[in-house]
Every structure is written in C-alpha cells, then in structure tokens.
Structure 1
C-alpha cells in the first residue's frame, strides 16, 4: 500500500517532466528536419544557449516584471476583498457595481496602457502596477462575492438560534465557506497579473522588464534571445501560481 502511494506521488512529478521533454524533443526535431528559420521558430537548443549566456540580464528584467505584477496583485486583491465584502452586505452596492466590474473585465490593455502612461508619466512604474491590479481585481472580486453569497441561509439561521453575533456568523460560517472561492480567483489573478504587466511594458514606461526586453531582442533580429526572455516570463508565472497554490493548501488545511 505504501509503495503504491509512493508511486502515485512520484508519477505526479515524473509524468509532466517526461511529457515536457518529449515536447522539447519533437520541437527540436521539427526545427532541424524542416530547416526552420529562427524568425519562424528557433530551436530549444538555441533558446537554452541564449538563456544560459544572458541569465543575468533575463533575471534582472524578470525581477522588474515580477515586482510590478506582485504589487499589482496585492493592490487588486485588497480592493477586490473590500469591494466584495461591501457588495455582499449591501444589495444596492452589488447591483450598482455590476456594470462597473463588467466594464473593467473587458478593458483592453492595449488601449488602457497609453492612457495611464500619459496620466502618470513614462518614467515610473505606476501604470504597469495599476494595469496588473485591474487584471487581478476582477477574478478575485467575482469569485469572492460568489463565495460570500453561497452560504446557505439555514446555516446562518442555525447560528442565530444559538445567539451568535453577526461577527461570529461571519467568522465561523461565511468566511470559511467563501475561502475556496477566493483562492480560485487568486489563482487566476496570479497568472493574469503577470501577463498584464508584461503586455503593458510593450507600450512605454521605464526601459526595464521582460516586455521591453522581448521587443528589443526582436527588433535586433535576436529571436532565440527573445524566446529566452519568454522563458523568464513563464518562470515568473509558474512561481506565482505555485506560491498561491501553496498558500491555498496551507490555509485550507488549517481551516
């Protein structure tokens, strides 16, 4: 029985690694077999070589993008939680804010980024942080609000029968029931905040971050280097997702 469980845990790690290596092998074979030009698709070997040779530059650019994404994620989550709590408590706020949230969810970054750069200036990171915050706000707000409203009325009525205070009802019934919904939104937000901050870097701001680095590499026809910067962006997204997943696991286990 113990060996079966150990194999199941090992398979969770081994299977994705084997599949990923197989995909890289097929990718390398396609590039060599069809003699693809680097501007069409560079080989994994060339990308890996550029990543190794420029790991310091990639790490520096990735740290700038990661910080903007993190600040935006934190800001978006805080605003979303406050807004969701208010909307769950007051129906008027919930109904009035629905069109605003819907509009925020469909705002294109390509249109918003230049406007924010004009408002706050090209020399600061404010626009990038706000774009990441807006992207993170929507999934956290929607999922948290749904969680707060999902608690069955019978559970609240039972707590009132036992003379529980509103805060006790919130702490023991409402918040625990909404927690899984919140982490669902947080998992989505952790990814879209990185994507949004990265895309915002294409349209201006300080000369740092992965978005500007990718643009610069492509403009100088260093396509394998551009893909190496993309690998750095993927690494940030994986780190954010793993961190939020770990936080979810610890929080739900304690609950």
Structure 2
C-alpha cells in the first residue's frame, strides 16, 4: 500500500514539475526581456518591452477580442473543411491504389504552395469583402497533414484482419466501421492536431496580405504601418494565445479519441 502511495506521489510531483517548469521559464524570459529593454535601451521599433505590450493589450482588449474572433472563425472553418476533405480523400486513396498514385503529386504540390503568393490571388478572386480566400488558405494548409496521417492510419490495418471480416461476409462499410476506422483514429487526430496550428498561422498570414480588415493579421499590419509597435505585438500575443487554444483543444480531442474504447 505504501509503495502504491509513493508511486502516486511521485507521479503527482512529476506532473507538477511539467506544469511549473514551462511557467518558470516563461517568467524568466519575460524578466530578461524587460531588463534588456529598460536597461540596455532597445528601441521600440526593434523590440517593445513586455510592460508596454501588456498595456496595449489591456487598452485595446475589445478590438483585440474582435480581431481574434475573426481570425478564429477563419481558421476553424478552414480546419474543418480541410480535415473533412483530407479524411475523405485518404479513405478513397486507401481503397483504390490508382487514386493513391494520382493524389500523391497533388498533395506534394499543395504542401509547398506559398501562402504569401496565394493569399492576394484568392483575396482578389473572392472579393475584397469576403473571408473565403482566407478560409480557403487555412483549408489547404490543414488538408495536407490530415490527409498524410489519415492515409498512414488506413494502411496500418493488416490484410489478415480484412480477410477475416470478408470471410464472415462483412460488407465494405462494416469493414470500414469495425476495422479500418478504429485503427486509423489515432492517426486522424494526430493530423488534426498538427493542422490546428497550421490553420491559425495560414489564416493570420492570409489576413496580413490584403482582404477585408478586422482579423489579427490585418491589425498587425495596420499597427506596424502606423508605428504602433507595442500594439502590433499585442495582436501577435493574441495570435499566439489563439494558436495555443486550437492546439490544446485538438490535443484533448485526440486523447479522448485514443482512450475511448472502439
């Protein structure tokens, strides 16, 4: 009993260290950052201090919140659409080898599409008042990791398991539900977790290069253009928080899906 208690305490201590260590490192970085700005006298043009950024964050909190919602909606729409398309195409590619070979160069091409060059084109295509261009870019960025990881998950199913299901006269749909999908679920959610951060980054970059105003990327560009550098960093901080929220939610969904019995 004492051994079990000691093991639980050791596990709790390790969990506390995993939480406390990043916080302490973050606080130390902020202190050193503020000291460098205040003592060394680094110009705000190069690097505003954390105190100035926090001040701007509090002062412009309503505007920052509105911009964060705009970027979050663009990223979420792109993540959902890109993930669904990635899962669907991966399922079809796993089923038909010809489609797998045809989709490989397309996916490779999408993986290296430059967002900086594509954003102005899509913003012009969908119009200056539409968010579709930004959402499309987020969907393209999300599609690739979801497709690659999902396809890998589908390929983890052993042929003997499929043959056994066919021997029991299982339909293709039953094989998909009982064998293929349960095996691929961890890989699918790994792809979604990777895509969650890419969706936020892609939406942010797309907003930076034109289109309707209002998103975090557009506000960063506007603040920097008017020499409000601390305010621009406040919007950057909001973008970091948004990316962390997307990542943590995707991570929690992944853990729930993996632990859930299939």
Q: Same fold (TM over 0.5)?
A: yes
- Equivalent residue for 1:148, pick from 146, 151, 154: 154
How many aligned residue pairs are there? 255
Aligned equivalents of 2:58, 2:120: Cα separation in 1: 34
- What residue in structure 1 maps to residue 48 of structure 2? 42
Cα contact 2:204–2:215 (8 A) shared by 1: yes
Aligned equivalents of 1:97, 1:206: Cα separation in 2: 33
Deviations 1:184-212 (A, max 9, x none): 11111100010000000122111110011
Cα contact 2:150–2:191 (8 A) shared by 1: yes
- Equivalent residue for 2:194, pick from 168, 188, 191: 188
- What residue in structure 2 maps to residue 15 of structure 1? 21
Question: What secondary structure sits across from 1:37 in the alignment?
Answer: coil
- What residue in structure 2 maps to residue 253 of structure 1? 259
- Equivalent residue for 1:71, pick from 65, 70, 77: 77
Structure 2: where are the runs of 5+ without partners?
1-5
**TM-score, normalization: structure 2?**
0.93
Cα offset for 1:19?
A: 1.2
Aligned equivalents of 1:120, 1:161: Cα separation in 2: 51
- What residue in structure 1 maps to residue 182 of structure 2? 176
Cα contact 2:150–2:188 (8 A) shared by 1: yes
- What residue in structure 2 maps to residue 106 of structure 1? 112
Cα contact 2:186–2:257 (8 A) shared by 1: no
- Equivalent residue for 2:101, pick from 95, 101, 104: 95
- What residue in structure 2 maps to residue 26 of structure 1? 32
- What residue in structure 1 maps to residue 130 of structure 2? 124
Structure 1: where are the runs of 5+ without partners?
none
**Cα RMSD after superposing both structures:** 1.3
Aligned equivalents of 2:34, 2:182: Cα separation in 1: 48
Aligned equivalents of 1:235, 1:107: Cα separation in 2: 26
